[in-house]
Amino acid sequence: SILIVDFGSQVTQLIARRVREAGVYSEIAPFSMAEEAFRRLKPKGIILSGSPAGVPEEGSPRAPEALFDSGLPILGICYGQQVMSHQLGGRVEPGKDGEWDGEFGRAFITITEECALFDGLWQIGERHQVWMSHGDKVTEFAPGFRIVAVSDGAPFAVIANEERRYYGTQFHPEVVHTPDGGKLLANFVRHVCGCSGDWTMAAYRDQKIADIRAQVGDGKVICGLSGGVDSAVAAVLIHEAIGDQLTCVFVDHGLLRLNERAHVEGLFRDHYNIPLVVVDAEQDFLTGLAGVTDPEAKRKFIGKTFIDVFDEEARRIGGADFLAQGTLYPDVIESVSFTGGPSVTIKSHHNVGGLPERMNMQLVEPLRELFKDEVRVLGRELGLPDVFVGRHPFPGPGLAIRIPGEVTKDKCDILRKADAVYLEEIRSAGLYDAIWQAFAVLLPVRSVGVMGDYRTYDYVCALRAVTSVDGMTADIYPFDAAFLSRVATRIVNEVQGINRVVYDYTSKPPGTIEWE
């Protein structure tokens, strides 16, 4: 295994992810607890992460000396390279002296010497794209090191002490903007550290099952299911670990897609035999939403009511000590501010935060280190059906944010039908998996149409489909005209209340994926 020492970089989890992709188990420990983690884990190698701090700053973090005494290979990334250079007798200087104000973003390095990190990957004389983000730089390196790659801004882009197997990169190999970064990290963990590379998601599952058992003991856990992939994978994993000490709760807020509730019941109660309580709260939600048109007001009401309903149900079930959540790593980063300043709320997502504070239970979050696509792999590992694991994301506030203006039961029913037709066509055209998210929106606009000899005056339905890797940015899916025309015809013919269909051609940014 590999120990990753975290100095607080926002991309430390990406290092762990790349190491997992190389088939090697790793653990992240904050620098202050790294020595203890090192003794427990007995790793074959160590990676020092980046940091928002600067080595020359007073009080900035250091790596435990014991790591340098261990004789194990060490890779320092960005701040990790600098702190290693500093601790081994080199010099790091702040950048802001007028002639140097750092390197940020895409940069190119030139390979000047051979190095074990470059094996089978980079040759002397080649230039390669990397991603830099640093203000300080190493100005004098520690004894025993050589420069093996340079960049315009960082003469010490990569340094190596092959004898001690210490390496430092000024750039970030863990981010996608360093295209060969994953291979470089694989070289370190496999070739340099000698890890075998046969670790898989199956091992992650076993590890997490052991962790959950240790955390929960014979306590009782409640897990809210949303119908989405994350909470489903968390629930099935926890159920494998502790069986019927787990109870799942599914709140039907009346803003779900067609047959959603039956689908969840079929899968969890019937297929997995997981104790499941379904709360029918449609009335509470729709009554409270009457007259509400402001998008943030809708979200706030739904978020608060969801917590009320869930809390009440948890009390009724009684005796639960733990609350399970399908929190993913991106939820963790999005809910922490790294600049220290206030971040602007574009939309308040209700599923992260709120619930734990209110319920005063300990959290069980077995997916906290994973990214969405890794959760899908884990889901398959747990035997969740492909159609479920591959589902498009669905927002917590549900159809309410796909019905601009006032939300009513009638509108929800109309939208459910149109959405189902659209998704059915997407699936039968074999396009579902190529699309990040596709859904129908019911506009608060009526338009005039003609059907047979009659004039109609009905709602307009907008179709949305986007591609994306993480939901942060998105591009429209370019359906061909024949496909769109088939869907439009079916919706207008089959869904009473809609007489016109339009396609949303807006990317994110400037649009968002949802309409509200």
Total residues in contact with ligand XMP, by rule CB under 6 A: 15
Region of 25-33, 136-144, 393-401, 445-453 interacting with ligand XMP (CB under 6 A): 393-401
Helix (H) / strand (E) element for 362: namely strand 362-364
Region of 175-183, 213-221, 395-403, 423-431 interacting with ligand XMP (CB under 6 A): 395-403
> Does residue 414 belong to the site contacting ligand XMP (CB under 6 A)?
no
In angstroms, rounded to a whole number, what is the distance separating the alpha carbons of residues 191 and 17?
A: 18
Helix (H) / strand (E) element for 202: namely helix 201-216
> Does residue 353 belong to the site contacting ligand XMP (CB under 6 A)?
no
> Does residue 508 belong to the site contacting ligand XMP (CB under 6 A)?
yes
Region of 23-31, 290-298, 349-357, 478-486 interacting with ligand XMP (CB under 6 A): 349-357
Considering only 309, 397, 464, 465, the residue that binds ligand XMP (CB under 6 A) is: 397
Q: Which lies closer to ligand XMP via its Cβ, residue 112 or residue 348?
A: 348
Residue 230, annotated as binding a ligand: yes
Q: Is the peptide bond before 52 cis (omega within 30 degrees of 0)?
A: no
For residue 508, the tally of other CB atoms under 10 A from its CB is: 16
Q: Which residues contact 408 (CB under 8 A, 6 or more apart)?
A: 286, 290
Minimum gap (Å) between residue 203 Cβ and ligand XMP: 29
128 is a catalytic site residue = no
Residue 228, annotated as binding a ligand: yes
Considering only 323, 395, 426, 462, the residue that binds ligand XMP (CB under 6 A) is: 395
Q: Which lies closer to ligand XMP via its Cβ, residue 350 or residue 411?
A: 350
* Active-site residue, from 86, 134, 174, 369: 174
Comparing CA positions, the residue from 327, 318, 330 lying closest to residue 249 is: 318
Q: Name the token pair of 148.
A: 């093996």
- Crossing angle of helices 372-381/201-216, nearest 10°? 90
- Crossing angle of helices 282-289/295-317, nearest 10°? 150
Minimum gap (Å) between residue 380 Cβ and ligand XMP: 21
Minimum gap (Å) between residue 153 Cβ and ligand XMP: 34
Sequence-ordered strand ranges (E) for 71-157? 74-77, 91-93, 103-111, 127-134, 137-140, 146-151
174 is a catalytic site residue = yes
Q: Give the burial class of 103: count Cβ atoms within 10 A of its Cβ; 0-12 exposed, 13-18 middle, 19 or more buried.
A: buried
> Does residue 207 belong to the site contacting ligand XMP (CB under 6 A)?
no
Helix (H) / strand (E) element for 460: namely strand 454-467
78 is a catalytic site residue = yes
In angstroms, rounded to a whole number, what is the distance separating the alpha carbons of residues 95 and 103?
A: 9
Minimum gap (Å) between residue 230 Cβ and ligand XMP: 9
- Crossing angle of helices 282-289/409-428, nearest 10°? 110
Q: Which lies closer to ligand XMP via its Cβ, residue 241 or residue 438?
A: 438
Cβ distance 72 to 46 under 8 Å?
yes
* Active-site residue, from 134, 172, 253, 350: 172
Q: Which parts of 283-312 interact with ligand XMP (CB under 6 A)?
A: 299
> Does residue 396 belong to the site contacting ligand XMP (CB under 6 A)?
yes
Q: Which parts of 470-489 interact with ligand XMP (CB under 6 A)?
A: 471
Q: Which lies closer to ligand XMP via its Cβ, residue 271 or residue 349?
A: 349
Identity at 184, one-letter amino acid code: L
SS3 of 14, please?
helix
> Does residue 390 belong to the site contacting ligand XMP (CB under 6 A)?
no
Considering only 44, 128, 350, 391, the residue that binds ligand XMP (CB under 6 A) is: 350
Q: Give the burial class of 375: count Cβ atoms within 10 A of its Cβ; 0-12 exposed, 13-18 middle, 19 or more buried.
A: buried
Residue 226, annotated as binding a ligand: yes
Region of 12-20, 249-257, 287-295, 342-350 interacting with ligand XMP (CB under 6 A): 342-350
Residue 227, annotated as binding a ligand: yes
Q: Which residues bind ligand XMP (CB under 6 A)?
A: 299, 347, 349-351, 393, 395-397, 437, 471, 508, 512-514
Which residue numbers are catalytic? 78, 172, 174
For the annotated binding site for ATP, the residues are: 226-232
